[in-house]
Structures are given as structure tokens and as C-alpha cells.
Amino acid sequence: MSSDCTPELRERIENTIRFLAVDAVEAAKSGHPGAPMGLAAAGLELFDSHLRFDPGDPDWPLRDRFVLSGGHASMLLYSLLHLFGYDLPLEQVKRFRQLGSSTPGHPEYGDTPGVEVTTGPLGQGFAHAVGMALAGRLTRAQLGGPADEASEGPGNHFVYGCMGDGDMMEGLSSEAASLAGHLGLGNLIFLYDDNHITIDGPTSLCFGEDVPARFAAQGWHVHGPIDGQAVDELASALEAAREETDRPSLIVLRTLIGRGSPAVEGKNKAHGAPLGPEEVVRAKQNMGWPEEPTFLVPDDVRAYCVARAEAKKQQRRAVDARHQVWREANPERAAAWDAARNRKLPANLGEVLAEGLAGVDAATRKHSGSVLRKLNDLVPYLVGGSADLAGSAAPPVLEEIGVVGPGAEQGVDPFAGRNIHFGVREHAMAAITNGIALDGTFRPYSGTFLIFSDYMRPAIRLAALMKIRSFFVFTHDSFYVGEDGPTHQPIEQLDSLRAIPGLSVFRPADGIETALAYAWILQEADGPAMLSLTRQTLPALERSAGFEPGDVWKGAYAVRDPGGKPDLVLIASGSEVSLACETADLLSEQGLASRVVSMPCMELFLEQPESDQLALVPDDGTLVVAVEAGRGESYRRFVGRRGLVYGLDRFGASAPAKDLAKALGFTADQVAQRIVEHRRRAGS
């Protein structure tokens, strides 16, 4: 710490952090006081002497990042942010967990200045931090370069974090730690709050593994355990971690949950409930802290933290000066970094990506691969890969841009490539994708079979909650997977993903729609988006006259329209659009005129003016039928009470795709027959 800080003042600052947390939880009548009380000393050391930040500019791109993975300890972070000068006034601390406050129960990205990622679901913060660290290494290798005393490019910051026993128990943390160690992310430094307590009691009830040995086996540099109050030893451990450039670092801290509270110190009672008025008094007396006023920040504590915040701003000015030297010496790299940060794209991106795809019959996963190859040169800040399924084009390895990690070409920086081999780690892959997006330089994508989106769903949900521009590419998106059987055939997944607020779900029907979906996601999306792609070949659509590429960006459009008022409207996406066209041909032989609507993105269609929606999908008694090779319940809102959702109410089976289509009722004559029967029963 600063030489101006005496041991006595340091203790007062630590107690300020502790009792801001205690008072906030007490006022809210809910929350977790124990971890902030135990981690106050470590948190203060990290923010005061190690983290590089500017509290007046929380988005400064050259800052270090801090991730509180155990989001239940949010008051630790809020106390530090308040004391070190972020725009988090004491009044907001007093409104902890209240509606509309910037101090929600768990830290939320976008709500609170200085919060780098939404945390709370255990293990997620840690895994997102791995993505942030990977983004930093990619940035340094491809755009920045090593820093020295005179010059500093982007990507030379560190990602710090704090995780607890709950994070360790979630399997996600093992996945993410494994990849971080394999990649050698030396810019990632985590504190492990090893307090041996869970909500239900001591960790001995359910958790006895040797965590330091586990991380060492995964390729991490491990220090400790050390006492959570031994700040000098912690400072040395943090310095050693920064010098360990080829391995991520874990510092094991033995802390005392609820430190200072006579009744709950070291007990599970400190974990998830207020201390209670009487115990608050005893804790304050025990620590020599005034009982009143609540939310006390002593004048000398305030003065010290204000001075330290100003010192952080001065440090920022020095870093910016070195960065300007770098920019002048590296104008091409600086321009490339600016282009990435500003999301520079060709104005005619959709047109370029769609070129050559009209009239091409292919699986949409193959169209996706073709589009990604075009994006190599057009969007050099695009980076991503799959969960060991590149051979199935989900998404493919792009040979022209190299791989990330130890598999890189010998003599080449391991972070100079843009193909990420995530391995069979879907849960971590999604979180790491989010972490790269949060860093703000590279635009990340990742993919696997649609069925395994179930493993990824928690991180996809967080991406939507944070409104970050993560991009997920799924393939093998229906029972047409075929011989692999029902374990690999998604039935309910599309409905489940469409139910996530803020997630744009694209299911393109051919190459043109695939290309335009990519263009919209890269140019227009202000949150996460995904593609749902086929394993099987699809025919190129023959569209109605007057089709414009921009129609795809409306979320739905008429592929075929008989003109005038149709007898029925068929809605579909993906592989079922061509099936709907075949069905419409059969129905026309029976005198029924059908409008076929391709709906590649339901979310975009619902954003259109209601008049435009009703002009395409009427609500005037016209029969509306939705066809999907899955549950299809998300179409229910469009078909109305008299309409028909032609989907599945069962799982698939192991058989060739054509045999399954017939067995499950997904041939044109079967769909047409069902529609005729439905019209007859409905009296249409």
C-alpha cells in the first residue's frame, strides 16, 4: 500500500469495507455479509496496490479487469468501488438490493460502473474471466506487442479475480481452468477464498479434494495457502503471479468467513443472511467500530481513498502516454485495433457474403463455412471455434488464419491465430465466448451441435442478460441428424432458446438466408445471436418476384405468394421451408392457394410494425399452419386458436434421415393430408 497508510489506517479501511457490507445487508434484510468480512483485507490490497484502473473511466480499454466470481459477495465489490471513486455514491450502497438501484444483489454488467461481468451463477465469473484473459493475449499477439518502459500497445493488462469453494465445486470451473492452463494464460490471476464454508455447513460435508494439486495438474502456477490477513505475503504472491508469464496463477487464501462477528465467525450462518441487529452491535464492538452511524466512512479513510483514486488516474495518464508512443511507432496496428474496437465492417457486407450462393443446394452448415471463409479477410477481428466438432462444420477450422494455443505452428506466437480449439468443453466454451466479447476487441463465435446448447444455456442466458454480442453457431438442428439417434436429435431446444429474452435465433433455409443472417448479426445485433443450421442438404429456395435481401432482416417474408387473400398461410424456418413449398404445391392441386412464409428470425419479425406482421401472417380467420421438425410451440402465437402447429410431441429415433421423416410425418404428402383434415375439422 501507499507509504501514507499506517497499520492503524489500514485496519480502519478494512473495517470500513466490512461494515459497509454488514450495514447494507442489514438494511436490505437479505444478502451475504460473511465473504466481504473475510475478504476485506485481500480486496483492499488488490484494489489499492495492484489493479490498474481509472475510476472516472471504467471502460478504459487498457485497464486491468477484476471479476468477482462469487457474486453473492457483491457488497465487497460495491464497497471497494465506492471507496475508490467510481460513480457509486453512498446512497446507492444504502439501497443495496432495492428496485432500480445500481447495487443489485449480485453484480450486473451495465448496472454498476466497474462491474466487468454479471456474476452469481457459480463458476461462470471464473470461466468468463478465462475468456477475458484469452482476449487480452490475442490482442497483444495480433495487434499490440510486449510493453516496455517507453511504449505500450493494447493487450498487456491483467485479469484478476476472486472465486470461492462454490465456484470450485461447479464442473464449469474445472473445464475453464483446464483450457486456461493448456493455453498458458499468464495474464490471468485468481484469488481462491478458501474459507471451508458453504451454505449448508463446512465444506467437509461434500468437498475434500486438493484444490492446489488440481490446479497445478491443469498447468497453473499455484501459491499458498496463505493467511487471508497476511497482506504482505499476498502482495508478494501477486507480484510473482505477474512475473509468471506462461501460466495462469491461483493464490490460495485461507480466510475466515464473517471475520469479527463473535456469533457467526467461521460458521455457515455468515454466508447467506444478515447478522441481525444484536450481532451487528457485537461485531462492531469486537472490531472497535462505532455502532453509529451506520454506513460509516471515516474522514481519514475517505481522504486516503480519494488520494489513491487520483493516483490511479495519474497512472492511467502515464500508460496513455506510453500508448501514444506505441501508436506513433505502429500506425498500421493502431488502425487495426481501432477498427476492431469500433466494429468496422464493409457497408455492403450482406451482398458480399451472399455472392455465389444463389441456386446452390447445400446444408446450411456448409453455407456457414463458406461465409466464415469470406469473413477471414473482411473481419480480421472475428475469432472462434468449436467444441471438438470442426470436422462437422460446427463451425469449421479456417486453415488460412492459424490456430490458438500450443497447436500453433512452431515458431509462431501461440496467440497469433484465430481458430480456437475449445475441446469437449461446451459449458466453458460459451462462457469464454462471452468473456472475449466483454473484452471489447475481438468478435467471438463458438459452436457445436444444437443438442449441446443445453450445456451452454447458462452462459447464453448471461450473454442475453448482459446484452453482449456473443455469437453461437449450432448445427445438426433437428431429427434429420438421423442415425445418431434421439440423444443427438434436438426436439425442444429451439423453443427453449427462443424463450430467452434478448437472444436473436436465426434458422436460415438456404445459402442466401445464411449469408444475410451473418451480416445482420455482425452489423446490427446489439446482443447475443445464434444460428441453427442443418446437417442435411437443402435445396436453394425459389423466391417470389420482388424479393429483397433486406426482407430477411425483417425476420420473415413470403417465399411464395399466390396474390390476393390466400386460403392458408404456411410458416416455417430452416429445413422446413422447402418442405412447406412442396406442401403448398400439393395443396394447390386441391384448389388451395397457400402463402409460404420463411421466418428465419422470429425475434426480428416481432419487432416489425404490427400492420406489417398482420399483412404477412393475418389474424382474420385465415388458416395459419406452422411446420417445424421439433416441438414448434414458439409458433403458437402466430397460428391462433384455429391454426395448427405441425411439430413433434416425442423424441426422435436412430434411423436414416429419410426414414425418420416418413416415420415422424414430415413428408409433403403427410403434411398436406394433415392440413386438409385440420381444415375439415375446423369447418374451413
Is residue 335 within 8 Å of residue 509, measured between CB atoms? no
Is residue 66 within 8 Å of residue 73, measured between CB atoms? no
Is 329 a member of any domain? no
**pLDDT per residue as tens digits for the range 531-583:** 999 999 999 999 988 899 999 999 999 999 998 899 999 999 999 999 999 99
Residue 619 reports pLDDT greater than 90: yes
Last residue of a domain, one of 471, 501, 532: 532
Binning pLDDT at 50, 70 and 90, where does residue 12 land?
Answer: very high
**What's the rounded mean pLDDT across residues 597-619?**
97
Residues 94 and 45 occupy one common structural domain: yes
pLDDT of residue 396: 87
DSSP 8-state secondary structure symbol assigned to residue 483: G
Which residues fall within 8 angstroms of residue 481, CB to CB, at 6 or more apart? 449, 451, 488, 489, 490, 535, 652, 657
pLDDT of residue 684: 57
Residues 172 and 253 occupy one common structural domain: yes
Residues 433 and 580 occupy one common structural domain: no
Q: How far apart are the first and last CA of the chain?
A: 80
Cα–Cα–Cα angle for 602, 508, 388, nearest 5°?
110
- Which residue, among 531, 530, 528, has the nearest Cα to 466 in the 3D structure? 528
Is 327 a member of any domain? no
Residues 523 and 650 occupy one common structural domain: no
Residues 527 and 570 occupy one common structural domain: no
Residues 42 and 99 occupy one common structural domain: yes
Phi, psi of 189 (to 5 degrees): -130, 120
pLDDT of residue 3: 65
Between 462 and 270, residue with greater pLDDT: 462
Residues 635 and 522 occupy one common structural domain: no
Q: Compute the distance between CA of residue 238 and CA of residue 602 in angstroms, rounded to an integer.
A: 49
pLDDT of residue 395: 86
pLDDT of residue 272: 85
Last residue of a domain, one of 315, 340, 372: 315
pLDDT of residue 683: 73
Binning pLDDT at 50, 70 and 90, where does residue 385 land?
Answer: very high
**pLDDT per residue as tens digits for the range 435-476:** 999 999 999 999 999 999 999 999 999 999 999 999 999 999
Residue 392 reports pLDDT greater than 90: no
In total, how many domains does the chain have?
A: 3
Residue 2 reports pLDDT greater than 70: no
pLDDT of residue 479: 97
Residues 310 and 253 occupy one common structural domain: yes
Last residue of a domain, one of 295, 315, 335: 315
**What's the rounded mean pLDDT across residues 180-185?**
98
Q: Compute the distance between CA of residue 112 and CA of residue 90 in angstroms, rounded to an integer.
A: 13
Which residues fall within 8 angstroms of residue 217, CB to CB, at 6 or more apart? none
Is 326 a member of any domain? no
**What's the rounded mean pLDDT across residues 159-178?**
98
Strand partners, 558: 597
Look at the block and give the residue holding cell 402465437: 637
**CATH classification at residue 528:** 3.40.50.970
pLDDT of residue 412: 84
- Which residue, among 485, 527, 478, has the nearest Cα to 628 in the 3D structure? 478
**CATH classification at residue 627:** 3.40.50.920
Q: Compute the distance between CA of residue 119 and CA of residue 334 in angstroms, rounded to an integer.
A: 32
CA atoms within 13 A on the CB side of 152: 16
Residues 441 and 516 occupy one common structural domain: yes
pLDDT of residue 545: 85
Binning pLDDT at 50, 70 and 90, where does residue 400 land?
Answer: confident
Proportion of the chain above pLDDT 90, given as a percent? 94
**What's the rounded mean pLDDT across residues 107-111?**
97
Cα–Cα–Cα angle for 322, 326, 332, nearest 5°?
155
Residues 301 and 361 occupy one common structural domain: no
Identify residue 105 by its one-letter amino acid code: G
Is 2 a member of any domain? no
Show the domain range for 571.
554-682
Identify residue 235 by its one-letter amino acid code: A
Binning pLDDT at 50, 70 and 90, where does residue 365 land?
Answer: very high
Query: If you average pLDDT over every residue of the chain, what do you get?
Result: 96
CA of residue 151 relative to chain centroid, distance: 32
**pLDDT per residue as tens digits for the range 82-101:** 999 999 999 999 999 999 99
94-102 long-range Cβ contacts below 8 angstroms, 24+ apart: 94/24, 94/27, 94/295, 96/24, 96/25, 96/27, 96/28, 96/31, 97/28, 97/30, 97/31, 98/28
Residues 490 and 574 occupy one common structural domain: no
Phi, psi of 385 (to 5 degrees): 175, -165
Is 488 a member of any domain? yes
- Which residue, among 403, 409, 412, has the nearest Cα to 384 in the 3D structure? 403
Is 345 a member of any domain? no
**pLDDT per residue as tens digits for the range 209-263:** 999 999 999 999 999 999 999 999 999 999 999 999 999 999 999 999 999 999 9
pLDDT of residue 159: 98
Is residue 7 within 8 Å of residue 72, measured between CB atoms? no
Report the 10 Å Cβ neighbour count for 334.
Answer: 19
Which residues fall within 8 angstroms of residue 14, CB to CB, at 6 or more apart? 40, 41, 44
**3-state SS of 11-58?**
HHHHHHHHHHHHHHHHHHCCCCCHHHHHHHHHHHHHHHHCCCCCCCCC
What order do you get walking across the sheet with 644-646 strand by strand?
Answer: 557-560, 594-598, 568-572, 623-627, 644-646
Is 192 a member of any domain? yes
Is 331 a member of any domain? no
Q: Compute the distance between CA of residue 174 and CA of residue 323 in angstroms, rounded to an integer.
A: 36
Name the residues annotated as catalytic. Answer: 426
Compute the CA torsion angle 212, 194, 254, 176 (nearest 10 deg): 40
DSSP 8-state secondary structure symbol assigned to residue 229: T
Q: Compute the distance between CA of residue 436 and CA of residue 407 in angstroms, rounded to an integer.
A: 20
Residue 55 reports pLDDT greater than 60: yes
- Which residue, among 133, 148, 139, has the nearest Cα to 323 in the 3D structure? 148
Q: Compute the distance between CA of residue 370 and CA of residue 396 in angstroms, rounded to an integer.
A: 10
CA of residue 650 relative to chain centroid, distance: 31
CA atoms within 13 A on the CB side of 567: 13
Helix (H, G, I), strand (E, B) or coil at 204: helix
Residues 288 and 237 occupy one common structural domain: yes
β-strands 529-532, 249-254 pairing: unpaired
Helix (H, G, I), strand (E, B) or coil at 600: coil
